[in-house]
Structure 1
Amino acid sequence: MLGSQMRRRKPRILCLHGFRTSGEILKKMMGKWPDAVLEKFDFDFPDAPSPAKGKSDIEGLYDPPYYEWYQVNKVECFNFEECIAYIEDHMIKHGPFDGLLGFSQGGMLASVLPWMQREGVAFTKVPKIKFVVVISGFALRELKSGPPKLLVNAFSAPVECPSLHMIGSELEHLQCQRCKQRFTFYFPTKNFSTLIINTNSALNLSDCAKTI
């Protein structure tokens, strides 16, 4: 009986929202995806640990509260280690999770988690991450103080984890070609299943499934 239940379990996906948004907002945006996609997975939408420390770009479109995973300026990154510990603790309490989905700032996190798990610097207490979906993701900018300690040797070798990347070509804060170059570097194609989807307009998360 237990084995039969395990076979019927939907793949569980941890969904990491964007900068100064929330889990509820990401859930609403993805709610417009086709039922044929949504019904195949079990999605979890946590809020980031830090309340937004400034104005959100989606004020007036979606109701608060708003959250952010970490903070960064040109010099250094703040609360990154605390953010990672928060996500791992959530995965322990609410898992097991099969994969990750991240949008914007959450996409950056989703892309680095498999590497940190492989290197043993984080996520050692949870099952292996089987796949990631990165929507409008980006690489953490180069900082004068250097990367967070957990990312000092990030992506020094290929990571064996299938990934799907969705990139809007007209997003003002992202240059699509730069993103593809970054992903090619961060996610080598050898032993790594990567698909980069180009959209011809600013990416609407609600339409991502239709893009596929």
Structure 2
Amino acid sequence: MDKLRILCLHGYRQNEQTFRERTGALRKLLKSTADFVFISAPHVIPEEENLKRPPEQRERGWWFSRPERSYNALDETDISTGYEESLELVVHVIINKGPFDGILGFSQGAAFLSLLCQLQQDNSKLFGSGGFKFAIFVSGFQSLVKPHKSHYKAAISLPSFHMIGTGDQVIPVLSSETLSQHFTSSVIYLHHGGHYIPASTELREQMKLFLSQFT
């Protein structure tokens, strides 16, 4: 049986290298089921200490919500600096390095993924012939950028799996639950942890069950 290919979108202040490390336990749980592909967001966080690091170690983001090029998930704002460039990057990756069966997003990457789901539903040709079949959200939330609100008006039919930590101190549980309600075919996995990617035998079994419909 061929493994599923899953594209992974990291959170704010991460990059493909750090996100690969932080998904190690999950990847081990699903090593017989899926291969994970990681990419870095195009925007480096413009802080002095960050800019001193080697390029591959610099913290990045998918867009900024403030004029000084920083980001907060709770900002209700018109600002989404860099969003279009990030969308162009992901479209390019999916068309040229795909196909991918699914996409996994963490934190800001999960908010970005929720927008990609609606964009694909509205335009099936957006990613060429390589559209994705499912989405996995970890500490997800609905983007509060005002231009993004239109993406949440219609229900999303794409199958989705939502990992929500009841101890998450960064993204409120209610925000993650609200996001899941936009999907008509969603599976919710609650864990007692915080703002990270969980790993347990129970999660493995639930994820394998979810992923089995795409193999």
TM-score under structure 2 length normalisation? 0.77
Q: 2:32 aligns with which of 39, 57, 74?
A: 39
Deviation at 1:55, TM superposition (A): 8.0
| Contact residue 91 and residue 126 of structure 1 kept, 8 A | no
Aligned partner of 2:131 in structure 1 is 128
Partner of 2:107: 104
**Aligned equivalent of 2:179, options 177, 182, 186:** 182
Partners of 1:23 and 1:46 within 8 A in 2: yes
Gaps of 5+ in 2: 50-55, 67-76, 204-215
Q: Deviations over 1:39-80 (max 9, x none)?
A: 311211011111122489xxxxxx932211111134411111
Q: Secondary structure at the match of 2:25?
A: coil
Unpaired runs of 5+ in structure 1? 1-7, 57-62
Identity, % of aligned pairs?
26
- The equivalent position to 2:162 in structure 1, one of 165, 168, 178, is 165
**Residues 102-157 of structure 1: CA deviation (Å, up to 9, x unaligned):** 1111111122212101112973424231001000111112x4xx31xxx4531332
1:208 matched to 2:211: no
Q: Contact 1:33–1:210 (CA<8 Å) still a contact in 2?
A: no
Do the aligned partners of 1:15 and 1:43 also contact (CA within 8 Å) in 2?
yes
Q: State the secondary structure of the residue aligned to 1:107.
A: helix
CA RMSD of aligned residues (A): 2.5
Using the size of structure 1 for normalisation, the TM-score is: 0.78
TM-superposed deviation, 1:81: 1.4
What amino acid is the match of 1:181?
T
Structure 1 runs of 4+ with >6 Å offset? none
